[in-house]
Amino acid sequence: MQWSLEQVRLFVSVAELQSFSAAARQLHRAQSAVSTAIALLETDLGVVLFERSSGRQPRLTEAGTLLLEEAREVLRQCERLEGRALGLMRGEETRLRLAQDEAMPYQPVLDSLEALAQAFPLLEVQLTSGAQGEVARKLLERRADLGLLFHHEQMPDALERQRLGSIEMVTVCGVGHPLAGRPYADRRELARHRQLLMVLQDSHYPGGEQLSPSVWRADSFYAMAELLMRNLGWAWLPRHVVQYPVYQNQLVELRSDWTPPPLVVELVCRRDEALGPAALWLADCFAEHLQAIG
């Protein structure tokens, strides 16, 4: 077959405008040239695309109707090809693999990704979530290009990080826990009850100070929240985790004389791989959305 993209473009234009003359004006072609191009396309495809009657608008045949969406997809694919080539020429990524701590506040992430789709419509995005440490491992193993995680001291030297914002921590327990009925719980009172902490003990993760001699540990804030709902202890959790719909009316925020400093949210990448325009744009966008909920 010898048909061309120009013929396909003319076919779609005539079908949408229902007029050879209107398509010719829109594409700055002579009407005779448009009619000839469509006729040659029909010859190449071996089907009649339009019913032509004197004095009437061209109407799609059954074959033309079936092939119209295929033709549109051919043109869309050409636009994608041109867009990707232009992005490569500008140094833009064709794919961005984002790994995030599973406890990252979901609203800023979703808002940022929605904006990313508008700013970089041809970018392929892969989003994965993991518990503490998994994000850093994915970056080290080159299974992710960009990471969103909470600051902790034991960060591998191969990774570079940038502070984006912070999230408030609160002291909580389950509604059936003995502490739930107390108007105030100081350190001494908290120490009388089992404490839930993040692993590992040497990670210096925010909220990692042990107050109670009885401790359970988990690698996920959401796992800790599930344990709290069963009144198995008290813990420090990010406020947005406590406000997650599943935990509404199941967890109680305690007034206390001490809570950890806010969780610092960081953008992390490999030191030996420079971030592309889309990744840098996403970082700025996420920082903006994160500050909005702060």
Q: Where are the alpha helices (DSSP H) in 46-146?
A: 62-90, 106-119, 134-140
d(CA 114, CA 95): 16
Q: What is the mean pLDDT of residues 268-281?
A: 83
Q: What per-residue string of b and e applies to 121-153 under the rule 16 or more CB within 10 Å gives b?
A: ebbeeeeebbbbbbbbebbeeeebbbbbbbbbe
pTM above 0.85, yes or no: no
* CATH numbers and ranges of domains, the chain: 5-90 (1.10.10.10), 95-158+268-293 (3.40.190.10), 169-261 (3.40.190.10)
Residue 245: alpha-carbon gap to chain centroid: 20
Q: According to the model, what pLDDT value does residue 206 have? A: 54
d(CA 181, CA 255): 11
CB 101 within 8 A of CB 241: no
CB 132 within 8 A of CB 219: yes
Terminal CA-CA length for the chain: 60
Nearest to 286 by CA among 261, 273, 267, 263: 267
Q: What is the mean pLDDT of residues 180-196?
A: 91
d(CA 141, CA 131): 16
pLDDT of 22 over the 70 cut = yes
Neighbour-count burial of 76, counting CB atoms closer than 10 A to its CB (0-12 exposed, 13-18 middle, 19+ buried): exposed
- pLDDT, tens digit, 9 for 90 and up, residues 77-136: 887 677 656 656 656 678 899 999 888 888 888 999 999 999 998 889 999 988 767 888
